[in-house]
Amino acid sequence: MSAVDAGNYVTLRGLCERISISPATGRNWLKMGKITPQAEQNGKPLFTEGYISRLKADLLTGQNKALKNRRNKKYVTGSGIYGCYVTAGSANIASVRRLMEMVSRQGVLLDGMQLRTLLAECALQLIVQREGILAPCGAGALSRYLKGSLPTNGYGFLIDDLLANQEGALSCIERHPQWFTVEYLYEEAEDILGLLYISGRNLGNRKATGAYYTPASVVKKLIGALFEANAAEGKRVLDPCCGTGSFLLRLPEGVGMESIYGSDTDGISVCLARINLALKFCAPKQEILYGQIRVKDFLAFKGEGYFDYIIGNPPWGYRFTEEEKRRLRDRYSCAQGKNIESYDLFIEQAVSNLKCGGILSFVLPESILNVKAHAKIRKFLMACGSIQYLEYLGNVFAGVQCPSIILQVLYDRKPMRCVGMAVKDGGRCFRVGRERRVHGGYFNFLATDEEYAVLQKIEQAPNKVTLAGRAKFALGIVTGNNKKFLTDVKSEENEAILKGTDIQKFRYTEGGSYIAYRPELFQQAAPTAYYRAGEKLLYRYICSQLVFAYDDRRTLSLNSCNVLIPQIEGMEMKYILAVLNSRVAQFYFEKNFQSMKVLRSHIESIPIPFIDRARQKELILLVDKLIEPSQEDGIIENYEILDARLSQVYGLSQEEYEVVKKSVGARVYEYTHG
């Protein structure tokens, strides 16, 4: 390829934005030949508009399978719809699916006009049903409206605003009449318009703007928890990222239309939110709907201290431009780092819009509680309010591996207190009855009062040390292309390499993967000395359990299996291995971090009791039995003996150890067998 005028082409980053993949994924696709540049400039790939359009169409129709196996799909292909956005069993799921299948079969990428027209058809059908208008029901409502033969009982201005161009709507109906044969059913408090809009956008050109559409079950939980403990009547409520209004639709009866406010930067979403609220209250009051539900960038306006409740699901991972980042750093205390997280900003801005005594209730990633990048917003909250309610939701967003929470904060301009906080985690629900130490490093609220007392005792273990500053850590090998570098056939030129799934507690089992060790060819590799250390610990990186194995065979590992080389004078590596595999360490890890990744910072925080060498060697005798691959019998028994002795090393009583065992349970057994 020869150098060309870049003005006629799109860069790799531009291509990634058009098809909503990350730049890192784009670089990998380029390396693997999944995308092909048409030109280059200064060694950088360039793509034509036509090529990008064809690529998008191929992704849509499924001819290109590149996105099929990606876990976090920001571009949804085919006729799939986000069914959990509404209540399971909604009759409209089938209707929207039928429509999306029609569009998909025709290979159409819905543009703004087509999407607005489809939404107007749906909205009019809902209006006719909700208002009991004496007119032909079902499909074709928009056509009748545009011909002047369908009364709307005052909703017309909302439909006209949504359409924006009636001639364009008529043209759409004429070109695709079958799309307008689908019938929709009005269902109270269900955001049917939102379901249709989300599905239509996913078939069109949706960019990754940090929008994670909240399932109906989560909306119900947030609203239920908020108004179960707090009054509704006469309270001003704001959803600053209201989308199509799913949270506002589910507000209880005590919150009148005159008390509901919403904003969003997406104009179509705001149009639909207004229609939804007009349907909810059977009152299309133009002054209120346009005055209180607005197209607005919530982060760009000054706080007013105006609202009793601020609710919703703020954007996650929004990509700000450099200019936007500059402005945000001038305004927000939590925007001072290199990377700025949108939901941190929404929290800070929401608090400035609350009355003293007001409440914030957001759906957020669980990482806000314990990831270092969010320390500033945690410290901000600590200084001005207390958590009323915290619910751990797990992975509730379809196709996204991101544990989430409902965080409900009372803004009272006082330092954070814990007494009275309600915590829900799966089937467990408890209330904090004793004050706790809270710091910005991480918010630890998964423990009951009884469990918290044990955690404090673990932290006060006699002669404790930690691995912080006393260990070497290394990432396993990142090949950049496992299919190219790994094989399942052993030869003289290669050697075994371990994956995370090959690691059990205390030992590992070679999983049949082999590699020729040529670090200069790999995408990323630690210094060879780490992999070839005379003895080291290997641990699973992606895991909710602490799973460490001993290696003295200089075995290689992939990046799902990381390396730890403890360097604590007077402390045997196998003793440290025993501690890290214990229930006490697992209890500490779970209650503090609730993470699906075992990070260096987690490992470095675990207290390790310093005991004399004689006691260490007694425990190591049991460790050796668990390491030995021929010792299949008695693994559980030996683990239980070792674990009980380690609890004594921590100074726990039998009752306290039972608290640990009850919490951690038998899950440790899953990782003690090959």
| pLDDT 10s digits, 170-182 | 999 999 999 999 9
Q: What's the alpha-carbon Rg for the chain, to the nearest Å?
A: 29
Q: Tell me which DSSP letter residue 85 carries.
A: G
Measured torsion, CA atoms of residues 163, 169, 172, 176, in degrees rounded to the nearest 10: 90
User: Sign of dihedral through CA atoms 289, 316, 199, 129?
Assistant: negative
Bridge partners for 308 per DSSP: none
3-state secondary structure of 103: helix
| Phi, psi for residue 419 in degrees, rounded to 5 | -60, 130
Give the per-residue pLDDT at 75.
37
Question: Token pair 């320390």 is at which residue?
Answer: 375
Give the per-residue pLDDT at 594.
78
Distances (CA, A) of 542 to 16, 392, 546, 576: 27, 19, 10, 21
CA gap 40, 61 in Å, rounded: 28
**Are 122 and 196 in contact, with CB atoms under 8 Å apart?**
yes
Strands, sheet with 293-295, edge to edge from the N-terminal-most edge strand: 293-295, 260-264, 237-239, 307-312, 354-365, 404-411, 385-394, 422-425, 428-431
Q: How far apart are the first and last CA of the chain?
A: 52
Report residues of the chain scoring pLDDT below 50.
Answer: 1-2, 68-79, 204-208, 210
CA 368 distance to own-chain centroid? 10
Give the per-residue pLDDT at 64.
64
- Sorted by where each starts, the structural domains of the chain and their CATH numbers stand as 6-61 (1.10.1660.10), 83-203 (no CATH), 220-267+282-446 (3.40.50.150), 464-671 (3.90.220.10)
Which secondary structure element, helix H or strand E, spans residue 390, and what is its range?
strand 385-394
Among residues 649, 420, 401, the alpha carbon closest in space to that of 542 is found at: 401
Give the per-residue pLDDT at 65.
58
CA gap 275, 266 in Å, rounded: 15
